[in-house]
Structure 1
Amino acid sequence: LQNHLWDACRDLTRPRLDSLAQRLDAKATWDDLVLPEEQMRLMRQIAAQVKERHKVYGEWGFDRRMNRGFGISALFAGESGTGKTMAAEVIANALRLNLYRIYLSAVVSKYIGETEKNLRKLFDAAEMGGAILFFDEADALFGKRSEVKDSHDRYANIEINYLLQRMESFSGLAILATNMKSALDIAFMRRLRFVLQFPYPGIKERLAIWQHALPPQVRYEPRQSQSTCRQFRFEYRAHRAGWRGAQPC
C-alpha cells in the first residue's frame, strides 16, 4: 500500500518537461547490472544517500552545518555501451522516482540568455516533481570554460557559472554521463559528490551480460558462448544485429 501511494504521488507531481527532456521508463534492477564491485558499491551509496538525506539533514540536524545545497550529483564516465544509462535507470527504479534524460539540443540556445532560462525551467520543474535529471553527453554542456575573446565566449562562461551554482543549490539527484571525462570543466568536477568510471566489460562480464540477455528457454553451450565473446566486440555484434552497443547480442 505504501508503494502504491508513493507511486500515485510521484505520478501526480510528474514535472512537465516534454520540450526539454525525455522521461525514461526505468524498469532495470540491480540484478540487471554487470559491473565491478566498486562501481556497484558506489551506486548503492548514491541511492542510500538520496533515500536517507532527509533524515540526515532534518532529524539529525546536519542542515544547520551545511552551507551548500542538499542535492547529490554523480558523474558516470565511460565508453558508449558500458551501462551508464542503465545504471541511472536502476537508481531511479530503486528510489521509485521519475528519470528524465535531458535534450541538450533543446536546452542549449544560440540566443543570449535562453540557455540559462531553459536550465532554470529544467531544475525548477525537477525540484517541484522530485525527479532525477540525467544529462547524457554532459561534456557538451559542462565543458571547460574558454578564454574570453568576444561576447559569445563571455556569455558561454556565464552559462557555465550559472550551471555550477544551480547544481550546488539543486535539491535533487543529478546524474551526468560522458565518454569524454577530460573535456569537463575542472571547477565543475570538484563539485561532484560521486565520480564513477564505467570500464569496458571484459570476457567474464560480457559472458555474464550475454547469459542474462538470453531467455531461460534458449539452450546454448557455455564454452561456445565464451568463445564468441572473445571473438567479437559488442559494437561489431550490435552492428550486425542492429542493436545498441549496450546490448551484447
Structure 2
Amino acid sequence: MTISQDPSAPLVVLVGITGLQGGSVAHALADSDKPYRICGLTRDASKPAAQAFAAQGVQIVSVSLTVDNAANVRKAFEGADIAFTVTNFNEHMDKQREISEGKLLVDTAKAVGVKLLIWSGLESLSAISGGKYSRVGFFDAKSEVTEYAKKSGVPLSLVEAGYYATNIFEAPYALKKQPDGSYVFGMPVPASTQVPLIDVAHDYGIYVRAAIEHPALGPGSEVFSGTLTFVRRYHRKVV
C-alpha cells in the first residue's frame, strides 16, 4: 500500500474511511499505479482502522458529518480534488436525516470546488415499483440525494453498490441449514431474479477507482458495482 505525500498528487477526501465502502476505496486508491493523497473522515480517529490507515500515510480527520456541524464539514473538505461520499442510514433509520446529510455532502463538495464528486447512491424503489413499495427509506433517501446532486451542477459520478455478499450471513435473509445439510438463501423475489452480489470490503473501491481513472467514466458516469457493466451518459461499456 502506497499513499502519496506529494502536494502535486490529487487530494481525495473519503467519507467513512473506517467503514466497508470508505475503507475499500482507500485500499483501491493506494493500490493504484497513480499517486493519490488521501484524507479519511471519521467521527472517531481513535478507532483501530483509522489508526491503521494513519500509519500508512492517510490524513485522518475527526468530524461529525451533520447539518449542525456544516462549518467543520467544509473545513474537512477544503482542498479536495475528489470526494467520495456515503451516508449510513442504518445508523439512525431516519429518512429525512439521511437526505439532509447527503445534501450537505453535495453542497460542501460543490462549495470547495471538487473536480469529481463520487456519491454512493441507490435507486428509488418507490419510483421503480410505481408507488407499490413506499416504505423503503434506505433506497428512496439515497435516490433523492442523487437527483439533488445531478441538479446541483457538481461534477458527479454515481457508484451504486450491489447486494452485499455478507448479507447471506445476516438476518432476515441469512442462510438456513436444511435437514439434508444443504443451505437455502431466501429472498422475497422470483427464483429467476439475477442479483448483483459484491464483496464490498475488497471490491467496491475498485469500481470507485474506475470512476476516477477510466477514460470512459468520470463526471456524468453511473457505475453499478457487482456487475460488469459501466454506464456513462446512456452509453453502455463493458469493462
Indicate the TM-score class for this superposition, using the shorter chain for normalisation: 0.3 to 0.5
More helix by share: 1
> What is the TM-score when the length of structure 2 is the normalising length?
0.32
> What is the TM-score when the length of structure 1 is the normalising length?
0.31
More strand by share: 2
Return the structure number with greater relative CO, CA threshold 8 A, min gap 6: 1
* Higher radius of gyration, 1 or 2: 1
